[in-house]
Structure 1
Amino acid sequence: MQRRTLIALAAVATLIAPAAASPATAGPPGDTGRTLQAKLDAVIAAGMPGAFAEVRDRRRTWTPTAGVADVATGAPVRDGMRHRVGSITKTFVSATVLQLAGERRIGLDTPIGRYLPRLVPGEVGRQVTVRMLLNHTSGIGDYDTELIKTVDDIVRLGETTFAPSELVRIGLGAAPTGEPGAAFSYSNTNYILAGLIVEKVTGHSYRAEVQRRIIRPLGLRDTYFQGSDLGIRGPHMHAYVPWVDGDLRDFTRYNMTWAWAAGELISTGRDLNVFYRALLTGRVLSPALLAEMQTATGAEGYGLGLYSVDLPCGRFWGHDGGTVGHQTVSWHSPDGERQVTYAHSMAWYQTSPTEPHPIDVAYVDFLVTALCGTGAAQTFTAPALPRTVDLTRPF
């Protein structure tokens, strides 16, 4: 869910590839398994409790794991664990909206007030379009910055069940980030509205539509929406936040209704790689709709629920996601042949405002090595990634 992750990763792209990127070419080196394991072990050595990844290079797949899934028991991280993938939910929701657009049931350039006149009346309803929701140019405020202002709010959030309409009202009540259509400004409120529009035009829950259109057809057996269930079904890493008393606080049991269509999805490395490969190779959307999805706004490289990142070996597409304790990055070559989905089990670890945290250096090194090979990660210096930190204002 954290918009800061997107901004930070865009900064990585700028540092790695200041010139325009060419199409993705060479992949990881031959001794990939040992190399990837060593890179993931370095993430743990830098202070992360646990991490896993699935890396695919055409027909080869590697699934390195490192660290512990539970610091209390010492149980190791295993391949195939489920994970809260946060804002990666947005790609699923956007793909569903685009399918409905292809069926002429949603207009990308239709004002959202036509679908939700009571919830979004007035100028906002008349000026903001569906496309502006999906590419974060609506100018609507981000509700999560209103929900979390203190340490106590982090705890309270996971103990509260929110209705999506309540989240929208909070976002609409926040200060707008700009005029509709004027500039990119990441706001989770946009995707709550997109989920509600899906429900309005189909008469079904947004979850049911995503399941019917994407999750079931692609056989994503370990992907589901958490909702108000406190736990994660099946094997998983615990979710940790370094707390004000210096200890790790466990937020594994957490009510995710505050994220809804903006970030409540649970998935695995395998399922996300299957999904993004299907998306990028035309199994989810028509070529015209995929082109709409990949039409980016401004320098951020953000399209419609999908963004690009330029690495030394070319351009990759995907999304990242952060929730309370869990973070995920999923990047893929345009042809779906080279893929990495990476996840770790601690968020909001302290970092300097000017120097990168060793965890950030290590996991960005892993990502770039997974997609481009060993030498590529040595061609840049990872920037400071603002993964958190003043727990009085964590978002």
Structure 2
Amino acid sequence: MPIKTLLAAVLALSVVPVAPAVARPDPLRQDAEQITAVGVTGVLARTTSQYGRSRTVTDGVAELGRRRPPRADGYFRIGSTNKTLVATVVLQLVGENRMRLDDTVEKWLPGYVRGNGNDGRLITVRQLLQHTAGIYDGNFPSIDTAEQYYQRRFAIHTEEEIVRAGLSHAPDFAPGTGWKYSNTGYDLVGLVIKAVTGRRWYDEVERRIVRPLGLRHTYWPGTSPGIKQPHAKGYTRFAAGERYVDTTQLIDVDASGGYISTLADLDTFQRALFDGRLLGRAELREMTRTVPVDETATQLWPGARYGLGLFSRDLACGGTVWIPGGDQLGYRTRLAVTGDGERSAVVSMSSQLYDSLDVVFAQDNAARRLIDRAICS
């Protein structure tokens, strides 16, 4: 057979029609895309299986007007996840027999909580951690409009100042007779930590949690308004029809929220909380003894209850998941970990959308679907 004919025959045999590969759907990426579809500018998501395998995806952009995606190792404000850090410090002190959960505030801060119906002799540390102390939170410094953001973003508010403002008002209810989320109550916990240890709450968090767990990308920014690089810019839409406001810069120093972290560090923290690296069994039992919460929380998170520094809620596939999440201007963080510390998820959204209650719920529901699908599967 002539060479040319032979080559043609070989080539003809080698060209076998092959069906095009069909890409398998990626549920984690699809769920992240559903969050940005609500209007969130950037999403970071991390899940860890019971075998310790972690996976991270991102979606959206790191900055509006640019196509650069957010980085999976980016820093963000953790908001009220800070409360879980504070509660962990208190429970470690309890485990060391340096204080008790049922100690009164009066024991550690004599005469500090008095007046306008407030009485530290009737309020326990447990009630502060569980939002059942009745401490008024309506004077807590807030930012509700773009104008207020530009006026107040660099204001410094200490625990002492915030507690004094809260105590200038009558309590919402008698201690132990109700439940209402109180940032001011956690600032009072911060003062108790200082009275017990002689150090500020953030120094104790650093000494007891950050360094032992090797959380190299978790830090308290103090009075610096910026965030370390890399980070996605945080945006807030304060009302329907308004533009996104870049609210990345903010001074947040009090004990109700303030730390900055990353997906990987927060995942390490929440898993360590439940696998025995941070708390003994007795202290973890106290943390996970829950009480009923208000209607708003149960609407947002079906089956929600509150322990010490963290919520629990129902999983879509049944059972309970623990959620030490938090919000801060420009950033919404949702965490979830199973009670054995084996399965977990972290979602960071670099937008806060306040168009309406429906939009608030839509953003949170999209994050909850991602978390539930990741943990349930």
Normalised by the length of structure 2, the TM-score is: 0.85
Q: Deviations over 1:195-249 (max 9, x none)?
A: 1111111111211111111110001111111221110012111111125672111
Candidates 98, 112, 117, aligned match of 1:119? 112
Alpha-carbon distance in structure 2 between the residues aligned to 1:223 and 1:256: 15
Contact preservation (8 Å) 2:140, 2:165: no
Distance 2:281 2:133 in 1: 25
Task: Select 1:217's aligned residue among 209, 212, 221.
Answer: 212
Q: Residues 104 and 122 of structure 2 are in contact (CA less than 8 Å); yes or no, is this contact kept in structure 1?
A: yes
C-alpha distance in structure 1 between counterparts of 2:249 and 2:360, whole Å: 30
Residue 356 (structure 1) shift = 7.1
Unmatched segments (≥5 aa) in structure 1? 1-30, 374-395
Structure 1 partner of 2:38:
46
Higher mean C-alpha displacement, 196-205 vs 144-153: 144-153
Mapped to 2, the partners of 1:327 and 1:356 lie a distance apart of 11
* Alignment RMSD (CA, Å): 2.1
The 3 A distance-change label for structure 1 pair 327 and 314 is same
Following superposition, the deviation at residue 253 of structure 1 comes to: 1.1
Q: Could you say which structure has the greater relative contact order, defined with CA pairs below 8 angstroms and 6 or more residues apart?
A: 1
* Conserved 8 A contact 1:119-1:165: no
2:192 and 2:139 mapped to 1: Cα distance?
A: 20
- What is the aligned partner in structure 2 of residue 298 from structure 1? 292
Uncovered stretches (5+) of structure 2, i.e. residues with no partner: 1-22, 294-303
Structure 2 equivalent of residue 34 of structure 1: 26
1:139 is paired with a residue whose SS is: coil
After TM superposition, the structure 1 stretch with the greater mean CA deviation from structure 2, 89-98 or 358-367, is 358-367
What letter corresponds to residue 209 of structure 1 in structure 2?
E
Shift of 1:33: 8.2
1:39–1:103 distance in 2 versus 1, CA, 3 Å: same
Give SS of 2:249's match. coil
Cα pair distance change 1:303/1:360, threshold 3 Å: closer
Quick one: which amino acid aligns to residue 247 of structure 1? R
Q: Distance in 1 between matches of 2:236 and 2:199?
A: 36
AA of the residue aligned to 1:69: A
Shift of 1:72: 3.5
Q: Which stretch shows the higher mean deviation, 215-224 or 153-162? A: 153-162
* Preserved CA contact (<8 Å) 2:238 2:355: no
Task: Tell me the SS of whatever aligns to 1:343.
Answer: strand
8 Å CA contact retained: 2:149, 2:247: no
Deviations along 1:332-358, whole A, 9 cap, x unmatched? 0111111001010111331355x8765
Greater Rg over alpha carbons, structure: 2
Aligned length: 340
Partner of 2:155: 160
Percent identity over the alignment?
Answer: 38
Cα distance in 1 for residues equivalent to 2:200 and 2:142: 24
Q: Which moved more, 1:211-220 or 1:44-53?
A: 44-53
Tell me which amino acid in the other structure corresponds to 1:298.
Answer: P
Indicate conservation of the 8 Å contact 1:143/1:168, yes or no. Answer: no
Name the SS for the 2:93 alignment partner: helix
CA contact (8 A) 2:36 2:43 kept: yes
Matches within 5 A, 1:1-395: 34-58=26-50, 59-121=52-114, 123-143=118-138, 145=140, 147-148=142-143, 152-243=147-238, 246-257=242-253, 260-299=254-293, 300-311=304-315, 312-352=317-357, 358-373=362-377
How much does 1:105 deviate? 1.7
Q: Which amino acid aligns with 2:363?
A: I
TM-score, normalised with respect to structure 1: 0.81
What's the offset of the Cα at 1:362? 2.7
> Partners of 1:180 and 1:119 in 2: how far apart?
16
SS at match of 2:36: helix
Distance, in Å, in 1 between the alignment partners of 2:39 and 2:145 is 25
